Structure 1
């Protein structure tokens, strides 16, 4: 690398997506001669001083790459030419270490891992031919080589930041923080904090109403006190790069320390304050001290009109900014207390304040009851988020009535019909409402003291906003009429599913609860999957299995979470085999056995992970009772053939009858509403239509919820 630090160089500074314009402005202010906005980053030209200055002072960049070559790279030959055009011995010693980061693909390289290995070998070949030895690979290398391919073009560079530039050093490296430092800074810039800092206001306050994470307040303080992020990091520049200018780097760091000292002398102009739970405030204080900030600058106390000092009551100026939590598995009615309280708190701030809220793009920001001025799209990891800014903190007038009287009356009517069932205590998991009123197109199931609410996708003829308003009205009504806590309501949208899509995981909450049914304990999960692990409409048939299983050998095909198997075991079955393709649900079934104190004796209770159709064809055991409840349709990647219950049920039933004892019973059920049992089955076997008997009290409105037949040998 030439020693002339004033030589023009090309750089690429990476950043989170959607903040590229802010980074371009920052780079220009730091001395870039020219900038060009790209995807998740900005290209810039400037000498080594500019590059070092940016790595020291940038609050928005994630990585700094010195571009060494750009050109064609549509195949290996073109990329090889570009790699060999670079004098690598000017950047790393022949006996040094390197690491390659490879992005994209071309006609020949379709895998990034292979691409990184191939580039490393090309660099090594150049060294071996000229020096007789080559650098080795290391996780702590002298240099990191970055190769990017895009639409036939390639760029090759060296990442000169030794540590990611978004890191400042005050966060616990082993802890999870929901917001990166440079993204928090971008939110502060969009919210107008730098504008306030440049104003002639005598005193400024930065306030976080929730106090977690600590990132907003600390980044705001670093900006206010003119503290370079690079001073906080233990490692910033790749000092083992052969082009590194240690004198220049230390000169820039000394200048940054002088600016920090001057900034701290102006610290009395600022107040940084937070409210929140004790744990959040404790984490804030810990991170604040780790950032080297004066403890006296942080006031972990609520801030409102009453919380301001007398000297600030007139003309108090500041910014309130916070990260508002959101979980898409939580209903709006459960979120409302948090959002409403935040809105009221912000509206109580002095007139000289404005505010910003960073949250998930799906979050119901309207529940804050505030008028937002602007919204900005941001990306937090892979999650799309928004920043809402509020120039005026004024609350809207609330709707007069959010209680749906007609919905409440219908649910009360349903409960009166179910009173004998509820009084018997057969189960504490049952359906209380199923789109009885077209305007409220939801199904409501009670699981102990929780509600599982499924929203049916509205017809295209219904305006989306109207449907959303009715849903929110319903969710406001349910806690009162059913006497449940608002945060014990789980909402999901129900769409037509194929095969076992309804079983696929929706989230990662890993929360479950236990319900009871005819003396059996069953584990359900209302959050992580579209279905809960328990089909409520099969309750009578599970009871039937329990009553008829004593001393019998039982087979449960497509067993799901094993509820039928549990009932059979509790009913005294001598053997129960449960077959399903999903290891997750077989584990769940085992959990259900443990819940009921059933020892998992391998010869008495078997859990078989297999394609039930294929396993059945190979089965040579015989059973007294078989429960068969296949999916309507399945094209799982683990199945060789597509399964269609209407097309395939004849063969499936015959295979079951082959292994059914002469006096045994096959319980065949499915939930395909247009299903028709083939006449050949009725001709070959004794078939009893059991649909009416299998329908529980809470599903009488929907007799087509499933079909059920008892099939015996003639």
Structure 2
């Protein structure tokens, strides 16, 4: 590597996706002769001085790679030719250390770990052939070699940033923060913060009312005070690289220190205010602020509704990232977004705003008019920045309470009034996509609501569908008199195979509901289903009424609710069979809830088995059999798949084989297109029980399940 720091070099600067244009502009300001925007990065031409300046000052880059060679790399032979074209002795001592970062695959290299080892060996062989020794591998190397393969081409370079450039030094590298520092800097730039800094305003304020870790405020202060991020790191550039020019680096570093001193001398022009309701967050943000000797800032810890008025600077930017989680429904978020919108709208006319949120966040709840939106990727999360040139709320706020939905809910409740008043159950359906625009099913479980969202048709705009869902979630508490915090939302999808038994969360939150004298544990948040199929309520009660003195078999028993009804009805024996250990334990809990746990005579058995195999081998007889199989199953404990339409004849025949001569098989399933084969009707006495099995709260959906009573002729 020539010592001439003015020689043109090829660089690649990596960055988060979607901020490449901002990085290109930044590198141009630092002296890049030409730039080319790529995927998650920018290529640039510039001398070593430019590269050092970019590593010292860049607020947007993640890594800086000096490109050494580019050419063909479709196999090992072509890649070796490219590696051998580089004189590695210009970059690394024979006794030095190196590390290889390898990306992509080719015809011969099908594993990146192998690729990194192979490249290291090729470089080592070059040293060994000339010096008899080779560099060793280290996690703290003198040189990091980067190899990229893509569509038969290869590029080889060396990474000259000693640590990731997004790290500024004010936060421990192991500390988790909602966003990286360079992403926060990009958001601030898109929000217009740099433009405000060069404006004629005598004083400029940066405010974050939900500051969390304080990243926006710290990055904004570094920009305002002209502090290079590289000054905050203990080490920025790879000084053990043989091409390193300490004189050039020292000059640039001294210049950056002078600019920092000048920026700090002008600190009185700026005001910084961070607030959060979480005292730990405020404490951590203040500690990071102080750790890099920034001027005094204003820190408060309070709820948005209790926020004091800001000091009135001549101009200001309110920027924040309001909370959002897929596990938190819009009802719980509304107070935060509403208060945030009101507080932002109270700012002076010279203030601007910006909100950084995940794509699904209910920004409309702020009732603010946004000016522009920008796309970002925060780690793996699609996010957007909304900017507000004027912090003005709508004179007529969006009507978030949907009158048509509220009216339909009230109509449904009037129809169910006598049913509810009878008190037979406190778990029932109150709404099931009665209005197509509100594509949800709503079930009440005691004082909770379980809301399932149907996937909207492809013809429906996603934003419109999301807004409708948010309106529904805001309407339900008022129309049904439910605490907004007691609403659980799940997206409803057709489930097949193993996914039917997979947990959906970690809340482990259960509650107790009642049904015809029985008590059941339901879980609204952790599983695809709640543990209680509400539409089978009449058939469970039928079992309770017809089980006295009988031997009952519950196949695919799920959480054993039908078994509990049979036991309460006085069955002499109840066998519950299912493949899931989780659901069998749940079934045992339901028995215990109903005082049925003490069973010295083994009247109640819980059998974990493949139902199809167990039934085929069964040599006992039963008076009542409840058979409600899944539509489809390919559980890992089953060797073959099960399809209810294809396999129901064989399944019913096996069940009828163990049914006593005077017994009854209750056969049901929820496959909407299911048709009972004529062979079954010709062989057995079949009573269509679909109408009688449909509860009042499901009458609007007669295809929710099919049900037949089957007996021997």
Q: Normalising to structure 2: TM-score of the pair?
A: 0.87
Worse-superposed segment, 703-712 or 319-328: 703-712
The aligned counterpart of 2:309 is 307
The aligned counterpart of 1:150 is 150
Q: How does 1:139-538 map to 2 (within 5 A)?
A: 139-279=139-279, 280-294=281-295, 296-300=296-300, 307-309=309-311, 312=312, 316-398=314-396, 402-438=400-436, 440-456=438-454, 471-492=469-490, 494=492, 497=494, 499-500=496-497, 503=500, 508=505, 510=507, 512-518=509-515, 519-526=518-525, 531-538=529-536
Name the SS for the 1:147 alignment partner.
strand
The aligned counterpart of 1:644 is 643
Q: Would the aligned equivalents of 2:91 and 2:241 in 1 still touch at CA under 8 Å?
A: yes
Instruction: For residues 252-307 of structure 1, give each alpha carbon's deviation from its aligned partner in whole angstroms, at most 9, with x where no partner exists.
Output: 3343333222222221111111232043322322322234323x223437899972
1:465, CA displacement in angstroms? 7.3
1:339, CA displacement in angstroms? 1.8
The aligned counterpart of 2:101 is 101
The aligned counterpart of 1:632 is 631
CA distance in 2, matches of 1:421, 1:182: 59
CA distance in 2, matches of 1:293, 1:464: 44
After superposition, the Cα gap between the structure-2 partners of 1:298 and 1:474, relative to the gap in structure 1 and judged at 3 Å, is: closer
1:22, CA displacement in angstroms? 0.7
Worse-superposed segment, 27-36 or 11-20: 27-36
Worse-superposed segment, 422-431 or 274-283: 422-431
Q: Would the aligned equivalents of 1:539 and 1:696 in 2 still touch at CA under 8 Å?
A: yes
1:577, CA displacement in angstroms? 5.0
Name the SS for the 1:11 alignment partner.
strand
1:76, CA displacement in angstroms? 2.2
1:77, CA displacement in angstroms? 1.9
Q: Would the aligned equivalents of 1:213 and 1:323 in 2 still touch at CA under 8 Å?
A: no
After superposition, the Cα gap between the structure-2 partners of 1:665 and 1:160, relative to the gap in structure 1 and judged at 3 Å, is: farther
After superposition, the Cα gap between the structure-2 partners of 1:605 and 1:201, relative to the gap in structure 1 and judged at 3 Å, is: farther
CA distance in 2, matches of 1:599, 1:168: 61
Name the SS for the 1:277 alignment partner.
coil
Q: How does 1:55-94 map to 2 (within 5 A)?
A: 55-94=55-94
Name the SS for the 2:36 alignment partner.
strand
Worse-superposed segment, 347-356 or 691-700: 691-700
2:683 counterpart of 1:681: no
Name the SS for the 2:431 alignment partner.
strand
1:190, CA displacement in angstroms? 0.7
Stretches of structure 2 that go unaligned for 5 or more consecutive residues are none
Q: Would the aligned equivalents of 2:98 and 2:143 in 1 still touch at CA under 8 Å?
A: yes
Stretches of structure 1 that go unaligned for 5 or more consecutive residues are none
1:37, CA displacement in angstroms? 1.0
CA distance in 1, matches of 2:567, 2:243: 73
CA distance in 2, matches of 1:211, 1:579: 50
Cα RMSD of the aligned pairs, angstroms, is 3.8
2:121 counterpart of 1:121: yes
Instruction: For residues 228-268 of structure 1, give each alpha carbon's deviation from its aligned partner in whole angstroms, at most 9, with x where no partner exists.
Output: 21222234333443434445444433433332222222211
CA distance in 2, matches of 1:509, 1:568: 32
Instruction: For residues 527-577 of structure 1, give each alpha carbon's deviation from its aligned partner in whole angstroms, at most 9, with x where no partner exists.
Output: x66544432212344455567778988765545556556667888886755
CA distance in 2, matches of 1:413, 1:52: 71
Worse-superposed segment, 220-229 or 429-438: 429-438
Name the SS for the 2:10 alignment partner.
strand
Worse-superposed segment, 393-402 or 636-645: 636-645
Instruction: For residues 593-638 of structure 1, give each alpha carbon's deviation from its aligned partner in whole angstroms, at most 9, with x where no partner exists.
Output: 888899899x976574x7655x447745757465433332456798
CA distance in 1, matches of 2:459, 2:260: 61
CA distance in 2, matches of 1:411, 1:23: 52
After superposition, the Cα gap between the structure-2 partners of 1:369 and 1:679, relative to the gap in structure 1 and judged at 3 Å, is: same
Name the SS for the 1:698 alignment partner.
helix
Q: Would the aligned equivalents of 1:593 and 1:600 in 2 still touch at CA under 8 Å?
A: no
1:29, CA displacement in angstroms? 1.6
1:193, CA displacement in angstroms? 0.8
After superposition, the Cα gap between the structure-2 partners of 1:500 and 1:52, relative to the gap in structure 1 and judged at 3 Å, is: same
Q: Normalising to structure 1: TM-score of the pair?
A: 0.86
Q: Would the aligned equivalents of 1:687 and 1:710 in 2 still touch at CA under 8 Å?
A: yes
1:666, CA displacement in angstroms? 4.2
Worse-superposed segment, 2-11 or 57-66: 2-11
The aligned counterpart of 1:706 is 705
The aligned counterpart of 1:14 is 14
The aligned counterpart of 1:110 is 110
Name the SS for the 1:68 alignment partner.
strand
Worse-superposed segment, 587-596 or 9-18: 587-596
1:355, CA displacement in angstroms? 0.8
Worse-superposed segment, 446-455 or 589-598: 589-598
Name the SS for the 1:259 alignment partner.
helix
CA distance in 1, matches of 2:330, 2:6: 57
Worse-superposed segment, 183-192 or 159-168: 159-168
Worse-superposed segment, 51-60 or 403-412: 403-412
1:457, CA displacement in angstroms? 5.1
After superposition, the Cα gap between the structure-2 partners of 1:236 and 1:591, relative to the gap in structure 1 and judged at 3 Å, is: farther
